[in-house]
Amino acid sequence: MSAIEHNKRPLLIYLHGFLSSPQSYKCQLMRERVAAEHPRIVFCAPQVSPYPAIAQQSLVALVERFLNSGECGPIGLVGSSMGGFWSSYLAERYGLPAVLVNPAVHPSRFMPTYVGQVLKPYSGEPQEYRLTQADVDTMCQLDSELRQPLRGRYWLLAQRGDETLDYREAEAFYRGQRQTIEDGGDHGFQGFARYCAPIVEFLFNL
């Protein structure tokens, strides 16, 4: 029996990138495709805080709220960029499947460059953020918790033309997992629509 035939509704959690939002193109596209093709799947795309401690607490609370609701079907994760790190964090903590799209593998390495800067969401929202060294320290701790061998089940989607992150880092970290690495493209992952249906199949064993 497939996950979609299970008597409890599956949950797909989509996690956006750093300073992005659930209004991002890939998130909205995934939401629309799931609603149209798999209406029994609950689609959840929370606003993820750029502050690591807040993000970690809220995402763990989200998953555990669903697990403890008594209505829990299978859970699948999709994460883009920084959302890829958070998806991996949750996948390791709860043994979940996750699809990672041009993921940030070790965000603690680049986060120090943002310390003290005024950061504004790419979505144009008026909210501003300012990271501190304490945020970097928290991210270093969370980063260190992701170790091999991995517990989760992963599919890495990466493009060599990513101008923000080096795909080779993800390729090495997720070795032994399913990987699709394309020539060209960019950090936004060109042609993402091709993968919406296969992502659902991978997460929920359709």
DSSP secondary-structure letter at 131? B
Count how many domains the chain has: 1
Structural domain contains residue 4: no
For all residues of the chain together, what is the average pLDDT? 92
- Phi and psi at residue 159, to the nearest 5°: -125, 135
Confidence class for position 1, pLDDT limits 50, 70, 90: very low
Task: Determine the structural domain holding residue 131 and report its residue range.
Answer: 9-204
**Of the given ranges (57-66, 118-127, 130-139), which has the lowest mean pLDDT?**
118-127
Confidence class for position 5, pLDDT limits 50, 70, 90: very low
- Over residues 112-128, the mean pLDDT reads 82
**Of the given ranges (1-15, 140-154, 168-182), which has the lowest mean pLDDT?**
1-15
Structural domain contains residue 2: no
Structural domain contains residue 99: yes
pLDDT tens digit sequence for 146-162 = 888 888 899 999 999 99
**Residue 24 sits in a domain of what CATH number?**
3.40.50.1820
pLDDT at 124: 62
Calculate the CA 143 to chain-centre distance: 14
47 vs 22: CA distance, rounded Å: 6
95 vs 176: CA distance, rounded Å: 16
172 has pLDDT over 60: yes
Structural domain contains residue 1: no
DSSP secondary-structure letter at 129? B
Structural domain contains residue 41: yes
Looking at per-residue confidence, does 71 or 123 come out higher? 71
2 has pLDDT over 60: no
Structural domain contains residue 50: yes
Structural domain contains residue 160: yes
> Which two structure tokens, joined as six digits, stand for 78?
């999709």
- The closest alpha carbon to 202, from 15, 76, 93, belongs to 76
